[in-house]
Amino acid sequence: MRTVDERFVRSRLATIFQLAIDVERWPSLLPHYRYVRFRERTSDGGGIVEMSANRPFGPLNWPTRWTSQMFVQRKALKGGDEPRVRYHHIEGITTGMDVEWSFHPEKGGTRVRLVHAWNGPPWPVVGGMAAANVIGPVFVHGIASRTLEGLAGVAEQEPI
């Protein structure tokens, strides 16, 4: 399973990047987030983080929860890499999922791209199908697209 959510954000790279790594603020900025808590912090600004968000279905919300190891790459590395945020899910139904947020400056703003990659849950026969047909497009994309849209909206309130 692979989902890609991408958006041009009319803000400075530093602004949207800071919002993306300040995950503990997400519940106050994004109505679909229930909580975000660090269990452990690392010197790069990441660490082990528990997250919970609702996936709305009309008037109903389906609560989701996962725990990830979060890695923050603040400065460009040799070869022109831009800042990135990576997650590796270590608990929850999406254990083993890898997520990458990338940020690319463009004229007038920043291109932000979220990629989720995962082989699916370890369920015999149906795990891959469940990931590709339900978990990825309905839950992962449903939450990621709202997260990106919400953070972009906050970032675009600041002048470039």
Cβ contacts of residue 95 below 8 Å, gap of 6+? 66, 89, 121
- On average, the pLDDT of the chain sits at 93
Give me the pLDDT at residue 123, please: 84
CATH number of residue 23's parent domain: 3.30.530.20
Q: Is residue 79 part of a domain?
A: no
Q: Are the C-beta atoms of residues 118 and 132 closer than 8 Å to each other?
A: no
What pLDDT was estimated at residue 30?
A: 97
Residues spanned by the domain of 37: 2-72+88-155
80 is a domain residue: no
pLDDT at 79: 56
Contact (CB, 8 A) for 7 and 1: no
How many domains does the chain fold into? Answer: 1
The proportion of the chain whose per-residue pLDDT surpasses 90, expressed as a percent, equals 74
- 120 phi-psi bin (left φ>0, alpha ψ -120 to 50, beta other): left
* Predicted structure pTM score: 0.91
CA dihedral 67, 104, 159, 15 (to 10 degrees): 30
Share of the chain above pLDDT 70, in %: 96
pLDDT in tens, 41-95: 999 999 999 999 998 888 888 899 999 999 999 876 555 668 999 999 999 999 9
Judge whether 48 lies within some domain: yes
